């Protein structure tokens, strides 16, 4: 039997084709490794996100009452609304000073002037909400009573 005869040009062509295909396989292998690494990173990220605690829901919005001037009506509604606000938004009003600042922002007229004087005199009440409210009631009431109404001449108990 005779051996098949291979044309040297055909042999060179086959050799070049094998070298080319080896390069293609190497590039595909590199891309496959890169894609595998990317998938692993994404998987790790997804797992990390799934393990994070659920964010705390936003604190509810509460409308603010009208400003109080220290003369008309009583501050009861204002103070009750602020108590609810502070309870429902504890992170926003975490300090006594923040609470005092909110209350002060809702004062007008004589009540606001009084609060400004306390602030300018560095009163301890500006750092203690309960004390501030107590001082407010003392200033704008008489022995636990609000000032007499100019129309009726009577006051009411706080």
Verify that 38 and 92 share a domain, yes or no: no
Interval 57-81: pLDDT, tens? 678 888 898 999 999 888 988 999 9
CA distances from 11 to 3, 15, 25, 55 (A): 15, 6, 21, 68
- Which range of residues forms the domain containing residue 84? 59-158
Verify that 68 and 142 share a domain, yes or no: yes
Verify that 109 and 148 share a domain, yes or no: yes
Interval 110-138: pLDDT, tens? 999 999 999 999 999 999 999 999 999 99
Give burial (CB, 10 Å; 0-12/13-18/19+) of 103.
buried
| Percent with pLDDT over 90 in the chain | 62
Give the integer Cα–Cα distance in Å for 139 and 136.
Answer: 5
Number of domains within the chain: 2
């Amino acid at each position: 039997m005779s051996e098949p005869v291979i044309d040297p040009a055909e042999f060179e062509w086959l050799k070049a084709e094998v070298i080319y295909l080896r390069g293609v396989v190497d590039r595909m292998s590199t891309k496959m490794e890169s894609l595998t690494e990317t998938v692993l990173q994404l998987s790790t990220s997804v797992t990390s996100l799934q393990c994070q605690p659920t964010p705390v829901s936003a604190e509810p919005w509460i409308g603010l009452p009208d400003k109080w001037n220290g003369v008309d009506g009583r501050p009861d509604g204002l103070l009750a609304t602020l108590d609810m606000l502070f309870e429902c938004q504890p992170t926003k009003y975490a300090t006594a000073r923040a609470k005092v600042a909110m209350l002060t922002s809702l004062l007008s007229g004589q009540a606001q002037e009084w609060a400004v004087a306390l602030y300018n005199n560095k009163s301890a009440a500006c750092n203690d909400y309960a004390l501030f409210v107590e001082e407010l009631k003392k200033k704008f009431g008489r022995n636990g009573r609000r000032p007499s109404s100019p129309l009726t001449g009577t006051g009411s108990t706080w």
